[in-house]
Amino acid sequence: MKIALGIEYDGTEFYGWQAQANLRTVQGCLEAALTAIADEPIKVFCAGRTDAGVHASGQVIHFETQAKRNLRAWTLGANTHLPPTIAVRWVQEVDDVFHARFSAIARRYRYIILNHALRSAIFASRATWFYHPLQIEAMQYAAKYLIGEHDFSSFRSAQCESRTPMRNVQELIVSRRGDFVIIDIQANAFLHHMDRNIVGVLLQIGSGWQEPDWMLQVLHSKDRRVAAETASACGLYLNKVVYPERYPFPANEILLL
């Protein structure tokens, strides 16, 4: 049988999603917990691999197993074996064609910025601190340039292994909630560091160091060297994965941390 799980995690203490020898990773912890429940080796596949320090409230994984277990065993049992910073939030049996990554039609990330003169201890690993005042209107104006399908070469890392830089950004919203600036980005898929590199450019524009039209110049240059520094991982959350209607998974988006 094939099982899909909704996963939430605080990525602060992990070396990213992907299992690595002798390193603590989200995938490694999940596979160990599910293996204990199934009493057989379990390999999991995720909707989107996250880097070290990146969080998730809407990660989706799947795995296959010969073990016959009540669905509640996969949630309650797995959570018993997982560290407090990883939690299974829902479980569903899925058909044989489902794949957590390849069945997804969109992914949504949320980036949280603490825009205050002084840093926070509580939000030190849960939001990026940016002390310079941000002009939300300028960031909103610049964000519009990225809507639609474009070549995002200027926003991909040197380590990106994607065969094409073409991506379709469906939504890019910048909003303020008190001292927090929230950036929501939804696209059909993301290049490596694409979301954090977009945020880096928006921070330059919001601070007034660059004009909003600079976003268009960066996009058209197709050159990563023209763009801004990559934003910190700690403010980034994989917030939602969108699937076709035949997979009615529960929503598990965060509002604000």
Question: Which residues are registered as beta bridge partners of 209?
Answer: none
Catalytic residue among 39, 51, 184, 195: 51
Annotated active-site residue 195? The verdict is no
Residue in 134, 59, 63 with CA at minimum distance from that of residue 94: 63
Catalytic residue IDs: 51
